Structure 1
């Protein structure tokens, strides 16, 4: 019997959108996602989230371990009526027995979204190039776009009285991490004054700064890159991240010596920023290294609101990227297929 080919074979569908980096999106598109995040969060609080991912699945590829990324995507899919599959390197043949292109095509035939948390941006970009469903970058070596969607949304929830988003001055203190780059890009796209404060050796590379300054020219933000910790003065938000990450273990002692104690966010640094400054961290945090426990647990810390909003972001992204594919079958179509299948089952 000749079966019709799946529509998933239609590579490069013109309407297909991926979420690899926020720079791929206009400010208006990002604002739409933030508005959707707010609505879905409110619906979740009322235990009334519409089943906008019903019958759908997200295949989650993890080359790196995660707490917030895995939990948030699995929970988001479930709350929205769908399903999430955890795929570690031990579970699939990614880039080993099967090339990247074939992996993308196969998962596209079975899942409605692919989320990949990978070592190299080329991997998630390659999946997107060869997938017929949306691909979400759950973290790579130089970007963490889902994290910063949660971050900016959290900033919006905690705006200082009388200030708008583009009135903020945000200081990222520490290494030029993938969170730093993504925050630099999205903050400057929203007209925020973004500061990267850290030792010269570990500052944002010129390529990142060039992207951010183009954003500033378009949207009115500002960028400061400096090693002077006194630049935290009058900042609205101080953000910390790890001083070393996977693959940097051999540099651990050198890195800690470069950053500590000058760039550790302490109560004294928070006081220098001002009495209304708030603290953020993407987590996990090495307390007493990039920040103190007193700051993490203090009254100006919003790190757990920030962590919860990972779920808010993932719900919105799953819906935003798939809502045009939602087609509710008619009662007649449901009855037709039910009758055909029931008839066959009665004969076998």
Structure 2
């Protein structure tokens, strides 16, 4: 059987995504019951992280440990990738020593190169283009609180960034309607807009996007790589803060999500993110369970 990689939600079928979410919920219950799998006993995973991380690193390392495996963390200064070694060479070497690679980087092409030459599963832990692991956790969280997301309306408020791109892929894979409110200069990738046209609506009006939505999601306006643009972006995104008025436009039982880190008073108010509709802590925890399910899926099919 050929090796499977997870660089995007589009690497899975709709049914596979649903199976992974269902298994994630099972694994969450098993962990709380004290039942641990030995799936990765005597196996190891290498975490090649070229960008900083809190939730992605901890959730993968904890999940690997709970599976009985070991993780090896490589920051840029820790490997020869940081000194110019070709990704292809690194991929070939790691494939002979480990069982799984998780990569977190900038240009999406770097992860594609890693997967091209690796003979073990490669997981996208974040790239500038998308963040599919986050979406597995987000869909799991929605499912736990509200059931199937198919046919529902979801609002994305703010930057058309990598997380937004993964929400777009989720919309076409799971057949829900995603309304994206973003300033004109910060809309998502044009090619992806075309690919997802049947499931997305673009607007510059946050209230229109949020109207009757079952879920309102956002992200920081100045993510990794855009720190120097913080002041300029704050001006551009004025009016895109998810506040109590915006949440009142959504459905009465609407959930609020944020992939974190969050900046209260910028993209979201404290009243919303710390309020009753917010499920951000479940969302953060579910990174662990969704990624364990993903690793199980990839390792048992490779």
The correspondence for 1:300, drawn from 261, 269, 277, is 277
Partner of 1:4: none
Cα RMSD for the two superposed structures: 1.3
Change (3 A) 1:323 1:227: same
Check whether the contact 2:3–2:301 (CA below 8 A) recurs between aligned residues: no
TM-score, with normalisation over the residues of structure 1?
A: 0.84
Partner of 2:192: 208
| Structure 2 unmatched runs, 5+ | none
Partner of 2:17: 30
The correspondence for 1:269, drawn from 210, 223, 246, is 246
The count of corresponding residues between Structure 1 and Structure 2 is 301
Whether 1:259 aligns to 2:237 is yes
The correspondence for 2:66, drawn from 79, 83, 92, is 79
TM-score, with normalisation over the residues of structure 2?
A: 0.96
The correspondence for 2:221, drawn from 243, 258, 276, is 243
Deviations 1:162-185 (A, max 9, x none): x64213110000001100000111
Change (3 A) 1:310 1:164: closer
Partner of 2:207: 230
Mapped to 2, the partners of 1:97 and 1:295 lie a distance apart of: 45
Partner of 1:194: 178
Partner of 1:123: 110
Q: Tell me, what secondary structure is at the counterpart of 1:235?
A: coil
Q: Tell me, what secondary structure is at the counterpart of 2:196?
A: helix
The correspondence for 1:39, drawn from 26, 29, 44, is 26
Mapped to 2, the partners of 1:176 and 1:93 lie a distance apart of: 33
Deviations 1:33-67 (A, max 9, x none): 11221221111111102211111111001111100
Mapped to 2, the partners of 1:170 and 1:212 lie a distance apart of: 14
Mapped to 2, the partners of 1:65 and 1:324 lie a distance apart of: 30
| Larger CA Rg, structure 1 vs 2 | 1
Mapped to 2, the partners of 1:178 and 1:242 lie a distance apart of: 11
Q: Which has the higher contact order (CA 8 A, sep 6+)?
A: 2
Mapped to 1, the partners of 2:206 and 2:300 lie a distance apart of: 45
| Structure 1 unmatched runs, 5+ | 1-13, 217-221, 326-348
The correspondence for 2:138, drawn from 151, 154, 167, is 151
